[in-house]
Structure formats: structure tokens, C-alpha cells
Amino acid sequence: MNDTPLHQTDLWAAETAQAPQSIAAAVGRIAGVRIVDITSDADLDAVVAQSSTDTILVGTGALTTAVARLFPGSPVSHPVAESARTVVVVGTAGSNAAAQLDELEADSIPVVRLDPAELLAGRASVSAHADVIALAIAGTVDPENSHRLVSALADVAARLIDDSTNLVLTGGETARTVLDRLGVARLEPVHEIAPGAIVSVTPGGRTVVTRPGSFGDHRSLAAIAAYLRPNSSKAHPMTGNLPYVALTMGDGAGIGPEVIVPAVLDPRVAAWCRPIVIGDASRLRLAAGVLGLEPEIVTVEKVSDAEFVAGRINVIDLDLLPEDLAWGELSPVAGHAAYEYIRVASELAVAGDVQAICTAPLNKEALHAAGHIFPGHTELLAHLIGTEEVSMMLSTPKLKVIHVTTHIGLLDAVAKIEPGLVERTIRRGHDALVRSGNSSPKMGVCGINPHAGENGLFGYGEEDQKIVPAVDLLRAEGMDVTGPLPADTAFFLAGRGDYDLIVAMYHDQGHGPVKVLGIEAGVNITVGLPVIRTSVDHGTAFDIAGKGIAEAGSMVEALRQAAELATSTAAV
């Protein structure tokens, strides 16, 4: 758990057995069972790809996500079953569960913490009239009694539950025991509303949310309860305090609309943020049609009119595109529309109506053809919001790169690089990482020439003139910054974990290594703006636009990072 061996966390507190060395050691050898040790999503994808149709895959939610990646289906909308009551049963020991229960109480949901001695003696009972009620075990659990306590807790819960009661069950043993008491032998999963929180329906039609006890932040249970609460049909599970994100549609002739539609419908996105598309509703409908999806695409006048239910996409409809705009063809009309979506989004962000902007790709040629002479979103947003200098950062789980120069020719880039610009870029990168929780980021700075000039062998001393003074200054201030490094080696070193951030001198130096990691991995973040802006790290892909084959992973990840930045303490 978060780099701490499981048996050293308080999650192991209720176990009597010694922690096993591995899953294989815990399970033992069973004929026909293969145990695969994985360390990455790529490993999971390989496992799924190599399994045959009669393989039963058993694993965590990440395995399920890998199955969904390889066999994508259409999002399904399944309304929460009508019910007068929701019962939350928390059978998990651990400080995380305790913090989540405190948050339920903060939302005026009664939490009954049952005394273990009363439970074991069969004397515990609860009478409550609230529409949502939570049951948990008080204090710490003696491992010797844990199974009996869960069983007694399930007995108490079962007495509060009628045929239509909706349930939230945390912890596998708790869930199994409560469902056994109710005679529920089968759950049909409908969707995941937060990491590990699976909404299912029972054969009798009630809604059940199951989730590992250790998962979720402190608001997680409160958000799930809000989702199930009667008369909350307009609330998505996690929308309580979720940030609003203005999601600009980009160039309507490109793949923007067809990556936006599945991303907004993705239940994970709905659990992270409240996205409102700034674009053209009719184009989104066409894109949905291309994908064979039938979402409810609803035009809203303002952010506060948006409603967040599964299957609905809220759009501030600027209605700028003709119905017959060709997919994949350069169009000044689409270029102008893309500009307008950004303009409106930046106004909403500056006014505080949204907490972040997330952008689908625009086509720089189309933007220029429409008379908007900006190299890209980065410079356009800096202009619209009135910020003099910003930096482009690419962020992936494995590698983060900030660029000293971006959309200018290589000769111009080399001419533009100077110690002041290098210093300010490193500072912006450093501050962005500090704000995202890394108090002392390790940063590696690339050189310009091959092998960072190889001590004067290549180039004209650019490293010494343009980079070394900035690095020396920042090191003297105490920053953990190294360089200039040969760029090829810098990325290798960062890939194995030596650096949290690489400072690239020009566009392709930073973009190439990130794009090798895959189209779904990279997110482009504008650093230095007073508002949060993230973006997909792919372009308009005119070659595949309108064909329904574009991958939406980068869009999903861009929304995730927008939401994460918006809920951290400060803007980047």
C-alpha cells in the first residue's frame, strides 16, 4: 500500500496469520491456476491479450480496466434502483475507513459504531429511521474475533435491510457475509464510479456498491452515499464538490469531438470532475453517431445549468460549425470555432465559473487560416489571460518534461535560449511539482547539442553560455538540479527514476521520448498560467477523423490531471 508492505499497514491489523511473502505463497499451488506477477499496466494488457476465452481472470480493478482497454464496449446507463433507504456497512479496520466514516457524519448521515463486546454477545441492535445509515465496528478489532465480528455485523445490518434497500459494502468479507445473509448469490456489475467502487445490480433489482475497504479518499464513502440517496437522480456519485472543467472541443474537423464523447461518458471521469464541453452540440452528436453511441447531448446556457447523470453530456453550444463540415479537412471555419471555444473557456476560468480548462486538439494551420496568429493553445491562453511567459509541460506517470522553447523553428529556438529563460523555466517546473506534492523534485536539464557538446567537441559552447549559469544559480539556492546532461541519457535516467522532471531545450527533444510512451500516456499542461489548463498530447489526426477509431485515453488522462490539479491547493 503506497510503497509500505501490506503487513506493516494498519490494514493488516485484523489478520491473525503472518503476512505471506507473495500471492503464490498465500494461495499455494492449485492445479490449473497460474499466478502472474505484474508491475505495470502493460503487463496486465499482455496477460489479458494472452488469455483464451475459457480463462477466468481473477485480480484487482486494474485487471478489469485492462480487459476494458482490450475489449472496449459502449458505456451503459443504469439508473439507481428506487429505494427508501441505503445501508452502508463498513467492516474494515484502518484509519482510512475511520476518516471516511467521519465524513459521512459531517454530511449528517448517522454512523452507528457497534461495540465489539455487544456484537459478539448478540446484543447489538440498531433502530434508525434515516434514509441513509452507516454501520461499523467501534474501536480496533481483535484479530482473533474478526470473522465473528463481521458475521455479527452482517446480522445487525440484515435486520435493517428490506427487499429494496440499496447497499454500500466495503471489504470483501463484509460484502460476502452481508450478501449471504440476504440470499444474494450474484451481482451484475454496471460500472465503476470511483477507483474500486463497483456499482452492481442484484437479480432482485437493488443497487449494491462494493469497494475494497482500503480504497478511496476521505470523501469517498460520502460521495457514494450521495449517489445512492433517494431523490438524488441529478447527482453523479462523485460530483459533490468536484471541480467544473471547461472542456474545449478543439478543431471540429479533427478527432476532438470523437475523443470527447467517450471521455465524458467514462464513469471514471464522472467520478473526478464535472466536465462541460465548450463546442458545437451538433458536431458532438455526429461524433457520437460515428462511435455508435447515443448519449443525451444537452445544451446549457451556463455552467450552473449543467446536470451530471450517467449518459449525459452538457455543452455550452457556440453553434459555429456547418452541418456538412468535412472530417479531416483543413477548414478556417473550424479554426475560428476552435479559437472561440478557447476564448469562452478562458473567460469562464478567469471568472471562477470553472476550476480548470481541458483542451481537445486544435489544428494550428486552421487556426492561422482563420487569422488567429498563435502557435497553439499555450500562447493563445497566455494572451487571452494576460500572462507574459508560460511553459509547456508534458506529464506522464513515468516521465515529466518541461520545455524551455516550444513552437518555433530549431534555429530560432537555439537563438532564444538564454540563461534567464532557462532559469525561469526550471523554476516554473520546480514550483509545479512542489504544488503537486513533491517538496524536493530532482530535476535534470538537457543540453542542446549531442552529448551536451562533449566538452566543446560539438556545437559552439551553447551549453556553457546558455544553460550552465542558470543551473549554477539554482543549485546555489538549494534546488536539486543537474545539467546540462546529454539529452538521450537524461531521458534514460529519468525513465529509471533518477529525475522527477526533465528540462528539455526544444519541442522535439522533450516530445519524442514522451510520445514513445504511447498516445494515451501524455498530458500537456500549461505551467505559469493563473488558471489550470491540461490537454491531450496528440493532434487533430485528420487522417483518422470521423472514422470512430481514435483512442480517447489521453483525453481521459487530461481530464483526470485537470481535476487533480484543481483539487490540489494551488494552480500550476
Ligand X SMILES: NCC(=O)COP(=O)(O)O
* Contacts with ligand X, residue ranges (CB under 6 A): 376-378, 511, 524, 535
Residue number of the CB atom closest to ligand NAI: 539
Among 519, 548, 564, 567, binds ligand NAI (CB under 6 A): 519
**Residue among 376 and 447 whose Cβ is closer to ligand X:** 376
Among 51, 539, 547, 567, binds ligand NAI (CB under 6 A): 539
Which of the 8 DSSP states describes residue 453? G
Please state, in angstroms and rounded to a whole number, the distance separating the CA atoms of residues 535 and 150. 46
By CB under 6 A, what part of segment 232-261 binds ligand NAI? 255, 259
538 lies in the site for ligand NAI, by CB under 6 A: yes
By CB under 6 A, what part of segment 375-394 binds ligand NAI? 376-377
- Among ligand X, ligand NAI, none, the one that 425 touches (CB under a kind-dependent 5 to 8 A) is none
Instruction: Please state the closest distance from residue 463 (CB atom) to ligand X, in A.
Output: 24
559 lies in the site for ligand NAI, by CB under 6 A: no
Please state, in angstroms and rounded to a whole number, the distance separating the CA atoms of residues 470 and 482. 11
- Among ligand NAI, ligand X, none, the one that 548 touches (CB under a kind-dependent 5 to 8 A) is none
3-state secondary structure 123-146: CCCCCCCCCEEEEEECCCCCHHHH
Angle among Cα 433, 438, 440 to the nearest 5 degrees reads 95
Residue span binding ligand NAI (CB under 6 A) among the ranges 76-84, 181-189, 224-232, 363-371: 363-371
Please state, in angstroms and rounded to a whole number, the distance separating the CA atoms of residues 565 and 355. 9
362 lies in the site for ligand NAI, by CB under 6 A: yes
Per DSSP, helices labelled H in 445-545 are: 462, 468-476, 487-495, 507-516
- What is the rounded radius of gyration, in angstroms, for the C-alpha atoms of the chain? 26
Please state, in angstroms and rounded to a whole number, the distance separating the CA atoms of residues 118 and 556. 48
Residue span binding ligand NAI (CB under 6 A) among the ranges 228-236, 355-363, 470-478, 501-509: 355-363
Instruction: Please state the closest distance from residue 543 (CB atom) to ligand NAI, in A.
Output: 5
Residue span binding ligand NAI (CB under 6 A) among the ranges 90-98, 160-168, 185-193, 356-364: 356-364
Please state, in angstroms and rounded to a whole number, the distance separating the CA atoms of residues 49 and 66. 9
CB 274 within 8 A of CB 242: yes
541 lies in the site for ligand NAI, by CB under 6 A: yes
Please state, in angstroms and rounded to a whole number, the distance separating the CA atoms of residues 527 and 276. 22
**Residue among 242 and 264 whose Cβ is closer to ligand NAI:** 264
- Among ligand X, ligand NAI, none, the one that 511 touches (CB under a kind-dependent 5 to 8 A) is ligand X
365 lies in the site for ligand NAI, by CB under 6 A: yes
Among 170, 391, 396, 524, binds ligand NAI (CB under 6 A): 524
**Residue among 524 and 561 whose Cβ is closer to ligand X:** 524
**Residue among 158 and 338 whose Cβ is closer to ligand X:** 338
**Residue among 207 and 535 whose Cβ is closer to ligand X:** 535
Helix (H, G, I), strand (E, B) or coil at 192: strand
Q: Residue 344: how many CB atoms within 10 A of its CB?
A: 16
Angle among Cα 269, 270, 274 to the nearest 5 degrees reads 100
Residue number of the CB atom closest to ligand X: 376
**Residue among 212 and 361 whose Cβ is closer to ligand NAI:** 361
**Residue among 310 and 541 whose Cβ is closer to ligand NAI:** 541
Among 550, 559, 565, 566, binds ligand NAI (CB under 6 A): 550
Among 266, 462, 463, 551, binds ligand NAI (CB under 6 A): 551
Phi, psi at residue 534, to the nearest 5°? -120, 165
Helix (H) or strand (E) holding 270: helix 267-272
Question: How far, rounded to the nearest angstrom, does the alpha carbon of residue 392 sit from its chain's CA centroid?
Answer: 20
DSSP 24-55: HHHH---TT-------SHHHHHHHHHH--TTP
From start to end of 292-390, where are the E strands? 296-299, 312-317, 356-359
CB 220 within 8 A of CB 202: no
364 lies in the site for ligand NAI, by CB under 6 A: yes
By CB under 6 A, what part of segment 24-43 binds ligand NAI? none
CB 284 within 8 A of CB 249: yes
544 lies in the site for ligand NAI, by CB under 6 A: yes
Q: Residue 517: how many CB atoms within 10 A of its CB?
A: 16
527 lies in the site for ligand NAI, by CB under 6 A: no
CA separation, residue 487 to residues 80, 311, 331, 449, 451 (Å): 53, 45, 37, 8, 7
**Residue among 11 and 260 whose Cβ is closer to ligand NAI:** 260
Return residues touching ligand NAI (CB under 6 A). Answer: 255, 259, 359, 361-365, 376-377, 519, 524, 535-536, 538-541, 543-544, 550-551
